[in-house]
Amino acid sequence: MFVYMDYNATTPLREEVRLRMIEDLEVFANASSMHEAGRRARDGVEKARAQVAALIGARDPQSLIFTSGGSESNNTVFNTMYDLGRRPGGRKKIITTAIEHPCVMNAAKRLADEGFHVVFLGVDGQGRIGLEELERELDPSRSAGGATLLVSVMAANNEIGTVQDMKAIAASAKAAGALVHSDAVQAAGKVPIDVAAWGLDYLTLSCHKIYGPKGVGALYVRKGAPLEPLIRGGHQELGLRAGTYNNQGILGFGLAAELASRDLASFASRLLSLRERLKAGIAAAVPDVRFNGHPTKVLPNTLNVSFPGAEGEAILLSLDLEGIEVSTGSACASGSLEPSHVLMATGVGPELAHGSIRFSMGRGTTEAEVDYVLAQLPPIIKRLRRMSTVPSSACADA
């Protein structure tokens, strides 16, 4: 049996999206050209913009710009902050979290290197930031760094699935006059997003996490919010992101977003029950495990588990031999020997962090697949624990 449980790393193309893109390969015209073929290509791009806007509750499709993906969207926001902060009298304090995706983390660290005051808010044991701590950091009379320029908090975490209360976070940030950004790459299509109701200035999306093609994403920019182009050139995207339109990718994104909106409720309830089946099965068949992340404020498809006394990479490779594909954390972190910064931030400690596996399920996941994992996993953990020298009591305080 072949079981893919790494949907948070990327998702396969939906059949409808694949067919739509193949059809669109015939349209080769430049969507910025003024002739008939160019206008037709452009119509496709604008339809996609409206479809993506609908997924996140953006009332004006023009508030979205297409990018090459989540990493570019996030970097565009931080690059804009760099420009704003360096202006005379510009605010130079940025508040983000200790559990962001590396593309936010590293963009924020670069600003710190450039003299910005960057705060990486800690999280509780379940991966949520504290509103009181955020408000203290937003108050210049109670914290260092002056007034805050930007608050950037991911809507949902890719490794442990914890979902933040973006509406409350944005309200606090707004009250302090700060701009607010959220990386919603993992939230999209799994939990409802409403940029207008949440009051965000910026929101990041990536297409390949919602069953569309790779190499395309979007950045929502509230009308009136500042934005500096990361890529300069032609006048595409209102001059905010130059480069010839990636029509096929964008059209695929539009359809993937529309289908994700349509299916969200049924997807979430189906995945949640698969998650419960996997969780209950692991709890029943494997002694001494720790489930990471928030028990309820969590992505319906994501289950992160620590197996004290077994090593994550060894578990991953053993499962791989049985045809089960999982991750030890984020795709970007695997291959490095560093323990997951996300798990470390939740306080699990390096030993447990090294013994953790992320199961991320998706549209293709079935009960039979979950049961196959539940049959294969327990003997693997038992064998690895017998071979291991790490004491399994590492979980005693969990």
Strands 217-221 and 64-67: antiparallel
Residue 237 makes contact with ligand PLP by CB under 6 A: no
E-assigned strand segments in 213-325: 217-221, 290-292, 302-306, 324-325
Q: Which residue has the tokens 């791009």?
A: 45
Least spacing, CB of residue 247 vs ligand PLP, in Å: 18
Of 42 and 208, which CB lies nearer to ligand PLP in the complex structure? 208
* CA 253 and chain centroid, separation: 16
Is residue 69 close enough to count as binding ligand PLP by CB under 6 A? yes
- Residue 339's Cβ-count burial label (10 Å; 0-12, 13-18, 19+) is buried
Which residue of 71, 80, 182, 302 would you call a contact of ligand PLP, by CB under 6 A?
A: 71
Stretch that binds ligand PLP, among 204-212, 278-286, 303-311, 356-364 (CB under 6 A): 204-212
* Least distance CB 314 / ligand PLP (angstroms): 25
SS3 content of the chain, % helix, strand, coil (to 5): 45, 15, 40
Does the footprint of ligand PLP cover residue 252 (CB under 6 A)?
no
Are residues 149 and 84 in contact, defined by beta-carbon separation less than 8 angstroms? yes
Q: How far is CA 79 from CA 72, 82, 109, 212, in A?
A: 10, 5, 12, 26
Does the footprint of ligand PLP cover residue 101 (CB under 6 A)? yes
Report the nearest approach of ligand PLP to the CB of residue 157 (Å).
7
Please confirm, yes or no, whether 332 is among the known catalytic residues.
yes
Cβ(214)–Cβ(207) below 8 Å: yes
> Contact letters (x/-) for ligand PLP, 128-147, by CB under 6 A?
--------------------
- Beta pairing partners, 291: 305
Q: Which helix (H) or strand (E) holds 253?
A: helix 247-285
Provide the minimum distance between the beta carbon of 152 and ligand PLP in the complex, in angstroms, as a whole number. 11
Answer for which of 64, 65, 185, 310 binds ligand PLP (CB under 6 A) is: 185
Region from 64-72, 85-93, 254-262, 298-306 binding ligand PLP, contact rule CB under 6 A: 64-72
Residue of 103, 207, 332, 395 marked catalytic? 332
209 binds ligand PLP (CB under 6 A): yes
Q: Kindly state the smallest distance separating residue 68's Cβ from ligand PLP, in Å.
A: 7
CA neighbor of 165 nearest in space, from 143, 176, 149, 180: 180
User: Tokens 């596996």 label which residue?
Assistant: 357
Please identify, among the stretches 19-27, 65-73, 192-200, 276-284, the one whose residues bind ligand PLP according to the rule CB under 6 A.
65-73
Select the residue interacting with ligand PLP from 183, 201, 311, 369 (CB under 6 A): 183
* Residue 70 vs 252, nearer CB to ligand PLP: 70
In sequence order, which residues have a C-beta less than 8 Å from that of residue 349 and are 6 or more positions away?
Answer: 394
For ligand PLP, give the closer residue by CB, 45 or 185.
Answer: 185
Interatomic CA distance for residues 35 and 21, integer angstroms:
22
* CB of 308 or CB of 329, closer to ligand PLP: 329
Return the range that interacts with ligand PLP (CB under 6 A); candidates 49-57, 69-77, 263-271, 390-398. Answer: 69-77
Dist. CA 46–CA 138, nearest whole Å: 38
Which residues pair with residue 150 across a beta bridge? Answer: 94, 179
Instruction: Look up residue 54 and give its two tokens.
Output: 């609908």
Residue 158 as a binder of ligand PLP (CB under 6 A): the answer is yes
Q: Give the residue closest to ligand PLP by C-beta.
A: 70
Q: For residue 232, count other CB atoms closer than 10 A to its CB.
A: 11
Closest distance to ligand PLP from the beta carbon of 125 (Å): 20
Q: How far apart are CA 375 and CA 369, in angstroms?
A: 10
Candidates 66-74, 121-129, 227-235, 236-244; binding stretch for ligand PLP (CB under 6 A): 66-74
Active-site residue list:
332
Residue numbers of the site for ligand PLP (CB under 6 A)? 69-71, 101, 103, 154, 158, 183, 185-186, 206, 208-209, 217
